[in-house]
Amino acid sequence: MTISWVQTLELSLPSLNDNTADADRLIQALKSRLGADDIAMGLDLLKTLPDVMRNANYHIRCVLYKDLSGWGISSVLAAEDLIPVLSIAVDLGTTRVVLRLVDLSCGKSLAESSFDNPQLVMGPDILTRIHHADSPEGQLHLQNLIVDGLNRFIAELCASCGFASTDVYLMAIAGNTAMTHLFMGLNPRWIIREPYIPVVNRPGTHLASQLGLLANPCARVFVFPNIGSYFGGDLIAGILYSGLNQREETAILVDVGTNAEVVLGNKNWMIACAGAAGPALEGGAARMGMMAGPGVIDRVAIDPDTLQMDIHTIENLPPVGICGSGLIDLAAHLFLCGMLDIRGKFVVSRCSNQLKEIDGIKHLVVVDQKDAAAGRNLSISQADIDSLIRSKAAMYTILETLTASVEMAPRDLTRFYVAGTFGSFINPISAIAIGMIPDLPLNCYQTLGNSSLGGAAHILESSELFEEMDRIRDSITYLELNVNQDFMNRFSAAKFLPHTDTSLFPSVKIKLT
Amino acid sequence: MTISWVQTLELSLPSLNDNTADADRLIQALKSRLGADDIAMGLDLLKTLPDVMRNANYHIRCVLYKDLSGWGISSVLAAEDLIPVLSIAVDLGTTRVVLRLVDLSCGKSLAESSFDNPQLVMGPDILTRIHHADSPEGQLHLQNLIVDGLNRFIAELCASCGFASTDVYLMAIAGNTAMTHLFMGLNPRWIIREPYIPVVNRPGTHLASQLGLLANPCARVFVFPNIGSYFGGDLIAGILYSGLNQREETAILVDVGTNAEVVLGNKNWMIACAGAAGPALEGGAARMGMMAGPGVIDRVAIDPDTLQMDIHTIENLPPVGICGSGLIDLAAHLFLCGMLDIRGKFVVSRCSNQLKEIDGIKHLVVVDQKDAAAGRNLSISQADIDSLIRSKAAMYTILETLTASVEMAPRDLTRFYVAGTFGSFINPISAIAIGMIPDLPLNCYQTLGNSSLGGAAHILESSELFEEMDRIRDSITYLELNVNQDFMNRFSAAKFLPHTDTSLFPSVKIKLT
């Protein structure tokens, strides 16, 4: 049974036979309701409590929170009072920040909004930002950028539903370790320097006001814990959202991006690792590659008979470039049609007049200049394909290494969660075709969408998941990916389409006419 | 073994094989040192922690505190750093406030100071002040008076030993329930109105800065718990100081004043009650009565042969009045010399020419006008004596009622603690002679001095007493003194010198020449 963060109580009235103080009367009743050892209450609440309780004739609503020490009461309202009690879940992404407004009384999602991380002006990647934070002014500037951004969008999100920021009593924030540090004003310096030590693994719960967030003055903020510099709260939130931590059967969760973060396990144990897969999977490395957006090619198919390309762009606009999911589709179809060989090299005879040589490197024209938005050819080079193959090989090698560490093979899995917004757009058939992910039945794959946001929202819906957040953290064994001979052997074998060992990918069949 | 509030730790250094975050590394080490479940750490500390730990090469001193949820870290210093770590115990009296500076590293007392409660300007008694606090401005004014007073004397006390307020990391404050409320800015309105409900029984631990106290920015303040409106934290501190809560044998603790607060018990159980004894015991009711001070008569003896009075004044100055201990001495000696009869009436034949009649009431001249500071007779009236007898009878009746509730008699006690500064000055022989306290061997009596301050200081000396504070609170059964027929019968019997039943006071012998 879920215990709501908002509890309504009808307290026994004080009398000469029961002169328990107001605060202690409330805490005693809540302790028995929640089965809690003790419940914390701050000074500000004590100051207003006697009037609130008497005006409500001891029939009250309590807004609760938890921290690492247990339950606390953030606010007490008259039960009759129809004041809304809201909460906000935040996916604190390096690139994009997503907010979801959740009614704290019933756990219902009310609205969502998102915005580009305002720290992007200081650097698109987290490394640049951490260097920028080397000076206290730089660190403060980065913190102010994200906190101000959050405050603007918290207010807008609340207003969009007819509420105010002050109606927000609880927030849950999931981000990677570096973003979490920058947001909290913690020095991120040692995250990127050997031996890669964060300031804190379990940041816990803080007053919103102490973090600079404009919400109700008594609002509390849960910050998701991390396992280290390279396995952050966004992934803990993702595991929580997937439910992997409660399954009997062993499953895997993969967050595909520049870094591939992978968790393997079940309700009893989890192992995790993170490794650089390279930017190719997100479309970032290709000359025509870019983030998803209007006019970006997100899906590609090639007719094996005519070799005609069928290109889909976001919002059906003239093509401006290609994103990760489009690139994976493209590579998969080029391979299946025999336009790429198993080494990933262009097959000149099959590509015919679509192939151009520029500066001694082969380029395949994907969109002719007459159809492209910018009026010039959009093409993919041999170097782009090579880069994608290195990335997909890295991803598969990570999966293989992790499963091998518990004497499993990737194909033994029965459930494969794909986390992250980017992951949702990948066509698993294409990803299997290039050997990026194992050749499992398609119904084994489950995309989670924004699992970081989903996990953060879960905590707001169900108070008992608060401890689960730490339990997940504590039950994960983090595996350092040692780039040893074993790893390099696996990587070399995975640098083919779909793999040196084609028996691993029985469903992948080249369709030559 | 006592666990110090200041712990020195040599942490293992971070490495690629142990990338635990700085905060979590410290908490893990402290958890095993303290045997704690979890240890809290605030955001401000997290911000400075990485630099402090690295500069100290992970050899550090931690300043700890506890709250109702468990341990917390308030500050981390380099182990080599010779920064003093101090604490202050406070007896927050209605009339007088006493501070003691304690070295938190070793528990050693360094200095003491005291000052008149600045709230006295708003009213000498707590009732007037609570009425003054009926308006929010009045309440704030009273809070500011005491907080400003504390800040001034904290700074002075620290400076007197060559330290600064910012060297104070922990404070323990014991006061009655009303004073505690006024100090914390909590509405005291319902303390004095039926059914007499405080805002809080266990105020817990707060940041000094949140209470307006100027100490180290990270300093925490323990506020002693109360049992109700009329049994406050000063008494819980007193019990802690006496050690009654840890004795095998049942003992009694009496805080003598306008209110008589009494605790009876041992390490397994305690019962307590509080009752109005009247102001006479403190010298407040008599026409010549006053608080102790220079020139005030504090000790009196009468030669049974010559009936010559031997009067001692504070600082040996010409007499200006008489305080409670002097009044008790005076009444005892008047009775023992036959100048008062067993009803407490002046015996005209024995008092002879010292007795004057003013407005139809008999007055006994204690100091002749030629010896008195003001140049006029200092005399005690029959009404003053009657008032004292009512007070002492009330006190004895309370002791008798409380002991009777566990089927004991006052004379069964083997240990009798007298708490409070005023109590320290009472001569037990005199108090027995008038039947105010039971006729026990003198070595059963133990005066504690300022037990409220002593108890507050104890917490600073020994961290394990923090939980004992709550354990004492929880193990006390508070007995409402019902003024029923039994009580009135006991009271009537006690309104004689020393008592109707003289067999209760075998040591009291009237010395008639």
Chain B residues closer than 8 Å to A139 by CB: none
Interface test with A, best of B140, B201, B470 (most A CBs within 10 A): B201
Check if B203 contacts A (Cβ < 8 Å).
Answer: yes
Taking the CA of residue B505 and the nearest CA in chain A, the distance in Å comes to 36
Contact assignment for B24 to A70 by CB distance below 8 Å: no
Element at A401 (helix H, strand E)? helix A382-404
- Closest in B21, B201, B480 to A199, CB measured: B21
What pLDDT does residue A276 have?
Answer: 74
Chain A residues closer than 8 Å to B26 by CB: none
Residue of B nearest to A54 (CA): B190
How many A/B residue pairs have CB atoms within 8 Å? 129
| Residue A130, helix vs strand vs coil | helix
> How many C-beta atoms lie closer than 10 Å to residue B368's C-beta?
14
- Closest in A40, A47, A197 to B14, CB measured: A197
Chain A residues closer than 8 Å to B184 by CB: 43, 46
Chain B residues closer than 8 Å to A480 by CB: 16
Residue of B nearest to A13 (CA): B195
What pLDDT does residue B280 have?
Answer: 66
Chain A residues closer than 8 Å to B69 by CB: 38, 40, 69-70
Chain B residues closer than 8 Å to A14 by CB: 195, 197
Residue of A nearest to B202 (CA): A24
Could you say which residues from 210 to 269 on chain B have a Cβ atom under 8 Å away from some Cβ of chain A? 210-211, 226, 228-229
- Spatial strand order in the sheet of A321-322: A309-313, A296-302, A321-322
In chain B the domains, ranked by start, together with CATH numbers, are 6-78 (3.10.20.880), 86-233 (3.30.420.480), 237-279+388-504 (3.30.420), 283-382 (no CATH)
Mean pLDDT of chain B: 94
Q: What is the Cα gyration radius of chain A?
A: 26
Element at A207 (helix H, strand E)? strand A204-207
Residue of A nearest to B181 (CA): A47
Taking the CA of residue B431 and the nearest CA in chain A, the distance in Å comes to 34
Contact assignment for A46 to B201 by CB distance below 8 Å: no
What pLDDT does residue B421 have?
Answer: 72
- DSSP symbol at A353: G
Residue of A nearest to B226 (CA): A21
What pLDDT does residue B458 have?
Answer: 97
Residue A498 near residue A434 (C-beta atoms within 8 A) = yes
Phi and psi (nearest 5°) for B169? Answer: -110, -15
pLDDT digits (tens, 9 = 90+) for A234-261: 999 999 999 999 999 999 999 876 678 8
Check if B383 contacts A (Cβ < 8 Å).
Answer: no
Residue given tokens 């170097």 in the structure block: A383
What pLDDT does residue B511 have?
Answer: 77
Interface test with A, best of B22, B147, B210, B473 (most A CBs within 10 A): B22
- Nearest partner of B463 among B2, B6, B1, judged by Cα: B2
Residue of A nearest to B67 (CA): A40
Residue of B nearest to A51 (CA): B187
Could you say which residues from 112 to 171 on chain B have a Cβ atom under 8 Å away from some Cβ of chain A? none
Contact assignment for B201 to A51 by CB distance below 8 Å: no
Contact assignment for A201 to B229 by CB distance below 8 Å: no
Lowest mean pLDDT among A458-472, B134-148, B226-240, B265-279: B265-279
Contact assignment for B47 to A186 by CB distance below 8 Å: yes
Residue B111 near residue B167 (C-beta atoms within 8 A) = no
Q: What CA–CA distance (Å, rounded) separates B452 from B446? A: 15
The percentage of chain B sitting over the pLDDT mark of 70, rounded to a whole number, equals 97
The letter for the amino acid at A326 is G
Residue of A nearest to B22 (CA): A199
Pair of tokens at residue A42: 């701050």
Chain B residues closer than 8 Å to A203 by CB: 46
Residue A188 near residue A246 (C-beta atoms within 8 A) = no
Contact assignment for A47 to B19 by CB distance below 8 Å: no
Contact assignment for B50 to A199 by CB distance below 8 Å: yes
How confident is the prediction along chain A (513 residues), in pLDDT tens digits per residue? 789 999 999 999 999 989 999 999 999 999 999 999 999 999 999 999 999 999 999 999 999 999 999 999 999 999 999 899 999 999 999 999 999 999 999 999 999 999 999 999 999 999 999 999 999 999 999 999 999 999 999 999 999 999 999 999 999 999 999 999 999 999 999 999 999 999 999 999 999 999 999 999 999 999 999 999 989 999 999 999 999 999 999 999 998 766 788 999 999 999 999 887 766 666 666 777 777 889 999 999 999 999 999 999 999 999 999 998 999 999 999 999 999 999 999 999 999 889 999 999 999 999 999 999 889 999 999 999 999 999 999 999 999 999 999 999 999 999 999 997 778 889 999 999 999 999 999 999 999 999 999 999 999 999 999 999 999 999 999 888 877 889 999 999 999 999 999 999 999 998 776
Check if B20 contacts A (Cβ < 8 Å).
Answer: yes
Check if A512 contacts B (Cβ < 8 Å).
Answer: no
What pLDDT does residue A513 have?
Answer: 60
Taking the CA of residue B62 and the nearest CA in chain A, the distance in Å comes to 17
Taking the CA of residue A103 and the nearest CA in chain B, the distance in Å comes to 27
Check if A50 contacts B (Cβ < 8 Å).
Answer: yes
Chain A residues closer than 8 Å to B135 by CB: none
CA B33 and chain centroid, separation:
34
Q: What CA–CA distance (Å, rounded) separates B84 from B392? A: 48
Pair of tokens at residue B209: 């800065």
Contact assignment for B197 to A22 by CB distance below 8 Å: yes
Contact assignment for A19 to B196 by CB distance below 8 Å: yes
Q: Is the pLDDT of residue B234 over 90?
A: yes
> How many C-beta atoms lie closer than 10 Å to residue B477's C-beta?
12
pLDDT digits (tens, 9 = 90+) for B443-476: 999 999 999 999 999 999 999 999 999 999 999 9
Taking the CA of residue A501 and the nearest CA in chain B, the distance in Å comes to 34
Contacts of A465 (CB under 8 A, 6+ apart): A240, A458, A459
- Cα torsion B235, B238, B240, B242: sign: negative
Q: What CA–CA distance (Å, rounded) separates B352 from B505? A: 28
Check if A201 contacts B (Cβ < 8 Å).
Answer: yes
Residue given tokens 């108890």 in the structure block: B455
Check if A14 contacts B (Cβ < 8 Å).
Answer: yes
pLDDT digits (tens, 9 = 90+) for B5-62: 999 999 999 998 899 999 999 999 999 999 999 999 999 999 999 999 999 999 999 9
Check if A47 contacts B (Cβ < 8 Å).
Answer: yes
Contact assignment for B201 to A24 by CB distance below 8 Å: yes
Q: Helix crossing, A382-404 with A485-494: angle to 10°?
A: 130
Element at B52 (helix H, strand E)? helix B43-55
> How many C-beta atoms lie closer than 10 Å to residue A286's C-beta?
25
Check if B198 contacts A (Cβ < 8 Å).
Answer: yes
Pair of tokens at residue A429: 């058939």
Chain B residues closer than 8 Å to A130 by CB: none
Q: What CA–CA distance (Å, rounded) separates A157 from A109? A: 12
- Nearest partner of B478 among B307, B248, B228, B168, judged by Cα: B228
CA-CA-CA-CA torsion for B170, B175, B179, B182, nearest 10 degrees? 20
Chain A residues closer than 8 Å to B47 by CB: 185-187
Contact assignment for B194 to A43 by CB distance below 8 Å: no
- Quick one: average pLDDT of B115-126? 95
Check if B70 contacts A (Cβ < 8 Å).
Answer: yes
Tell me the ipTM for this assembly.
0.92
- Closest in B43, B185, B196 to A210, CB measured: B43
Interface test with B, best of A12, A186, A470, A471 (most B CBs within 10 A): A186
Taking the CA of residue A49 and the nearest CA in chain B, the distance in Å comes to 7
| b (16+ CB within 10 A) / e for A305-327 | eebebebebbeeeebbbbbbbbb
